[in-house]
Amino acid sequence: MATKILLNGGNLTSSLLQKIATERTKVEFAIAPASRERMQRSRDFVYEIVRGRKVVYGINTGFGALSDKHIPRKDLEKLQYNLIRSHCTGVGRPFDPSVVRAIMVVRANCLVSGHSGVAPELVDLYLQFVNKGVAPIVPEKGSVGASGDLAPLAHIALALIGEGEVIYRGKQMAASKALKSVLHARPAKLGPKDGLALINGTAVMTAIGALALEDAKMLARAFDIAGAMTVEGTKGTDRAFSEEISRVRPQEGQLLVAQNLRRLMEGSQVRASHLHCGKVQDSYSLRCIPQVHGAVRQTITHTDRVLAIELNSVTDNPLIFPETKEVISGGNFHGEPVALALDYLTMGVAELCSISERRVEKMMNASFSNLPSFLTKKGGLHSGLMMAHVTHAALTSENKVLAHPASVDSIPTSTDKEDHVSMGVSAARKLSEVIENAKHCLAIEFLANTQALEFLHPTKSSPVLESVYRLIRKRVPAIGDDRVFAKDLQSIYQMINSGEIVAAAESVIGPLA
C-alpha cells in the first residue's frame, strides 16, 4: 500500500526524494489542505489583478526582455500556452524517468507554498503524473540556470497541456494518450500566470543534485570500507588513524573517517601479524585517508545544507503575496547557491576517486605491496588486473575534467537582460556523471583489494571487512587465470549501487559515520 504524503512546501528531503525516484518507497502525493487554501488565496489575487488595469509582470505582460509588452486580457490564456511551447527548446538525451519524477516532486513542492499564483487543480494534475508513473520526455540540455530551468520544465509542462511525448511503463506514447487512457483526465487549461509558474524555478538542478547527494553519502561510507580493506591488503598500519592525531586537528570530517577506519579494522588478524615489521610510514593514499575522505565529508555536509533549503523554497518569479496585495519581481530563480554547492561536491567525489586510484596502483606494484604484480600469480602469461587499474585511471582523469566548475561560467541571454546565469543544471549533470564514474572506480578497488586478501590467507582481516569480502565472493570468485573482468566489475558495481556493501559492513558494527 502506498504511503500518502501531503506536500506543504516544507516537508521534502533528499532522502525521501531518492526513495521516490527509485521507487524504493511507493508514495502518493497530494496537496496539504492548508497549502491548498494558501494557493487559492494567491490564485484569487491573480484574477483580481486581471480584472483591474494594473500591469504586472508575468500576469499580463510578455516575458524576459519582452516584459514591457502589455498583453490584452483576451490574450492572457494564449500567452501562457505560447510561453510553454516556445520554451520547449531542450536538446540531447532525455533524462531518465526516475529523474523526471524527482524534478516534478520538487516543482510541485515549490508551487504548493502558495506564492506562485498557480491554480491548485493544475498541481493536482501535475501530481497525478507523478503518482501514476507517467514521465514526460525531457531533454537534458538547454538550461543556463536562470531564469530557472526554463527549457526542461517547459517540456514537462507541455505534457500537462496534452502535447509532447511521455514514458509510461517503459514505453513512449503521446501525452494526449496518457492523459486519456492512464490518468483519465483532460489536458490542463491554463489561466493567467500558470505557464510561467510551471517553468520558472530551480527544480531541475535541485532534484538532480539531491539524488546525487544521496549517492555521495553512500559512496563516502563505501570508500571508507574500500580504503580500510586496501590498507589491510597491503599490510598497512592503522596507527595513522588514531584518535589522538585527529583530536589535535579536529576537522569534523577527519574525526568521523578516522573513527570509521578504526572500527572497520578492529580485531584484524592481518594487522596483528605485522605489528613489528620494518615499515615506518605508509604512502599518503593510505596514511591520509582520514584527511582526504574527511574533507570530502565536508563537501557533502555543505551541499546537504544548501539543498535542504532549496528543496523547500519558492524559486519562481514574480512572487504573489496576497496578504499584503503585492506581486514582487525578484531573482529566486537564480541557481547560484545550488550550482556552487554542486560544483563543490563534484570536486569532493572526484577526490575520492583520485586517492582510490593511488591505492589501486599500490596493490598493482609488487615493489610496494609485496604482492604479486597486478595481483596474479602467473604474471606474463596472465595480465591480472593491469587493465582494471588503467580503467580506474581513465575514469579518474575524466573526473578531473568534469570537476571544472560550471558555476564560474556565465553567458548573457535575452538581449542582455538576463546577463548573469548560474549554469546550475550543467553543474548537476556533471556531478551525476562523476558519481557514476566513482561507483565504477570503487568497484575496481574492491576487485583488487579482495584479491589482495587472497594472498594473505589463511590470516583473516577484521570481522567487518571479512563480511564485505564474503559478500563480494558470493558473486565474484577469487582470481586465478585471466578472465573477462568487466563482468566482475559489473557485479560489484551493482552491489555498490544497491547499498549491499555498506549494509554488509554495518550489519556487523552498526551505522558508519
Type of residue found at 392: H
> Would the CA dihedral through 331, 336, 342, 344 be positive or negative?
negative
Tell me if residue 168 is catalytic: no
Contact criterion met (CB below 8 Å) for 335 and 345: no
Q: What is the dihedral of CA 347, 353, 355, 359, to 10 degrees?
A: 180
The rounded Cα 254 to chain-centroid distance in angstroms is 23
Residues 6+ apart with CB under 8 A from 403: 343, 346, 347, 350, 430, 434
Q: Where would I find the beta strands (DSSP E) of 193-336?
A: 319-321, 326-328
DSSP 96: P
Question: Among 463, 464, 460, 487, which Cα is nearest to 476's?
Answer: 487
C-alpha to C-alpha distance for 193 and 318, rounded to whole angstroms: 9
- 342/206 Cα distance (integer angstroms): 9
Among 499, 505, 502, residue whose Cα is nearest residue 462: 505
Asked if 497 contacts 439 with a C-beta cutoff of 8 angstroms, the reply is yes
How does 383-405 read in b/e, with b if 16+ C-beta sit within 10 Å? Answer: ebbeebbebbbebbeebeebbeb
Neighbours of 35 (CB within 10 A): 22
**What is the secondary structure of 124-192 as a DSSP string?**
HHHHHHHHHTEEE--EEE---SSSSSHHHHHHHHHHHTT-SEEEETTEEEEHHHHHHHTS--PPP---T
Check: CB of residue 167 under 8 Å from CB of residue 97: yes
Q: What is the DSSP letter of 239?
A: G
Rounded Cα gap, residues 344 and 340, in angstroms: 6
Active-site option among 57, 126, 344, 469? 57
**Residue length of the chain:** 513
Q: What is the largest CA-CA distance in the chain?
A: 87
Write out the catalytic residue numbers: 57
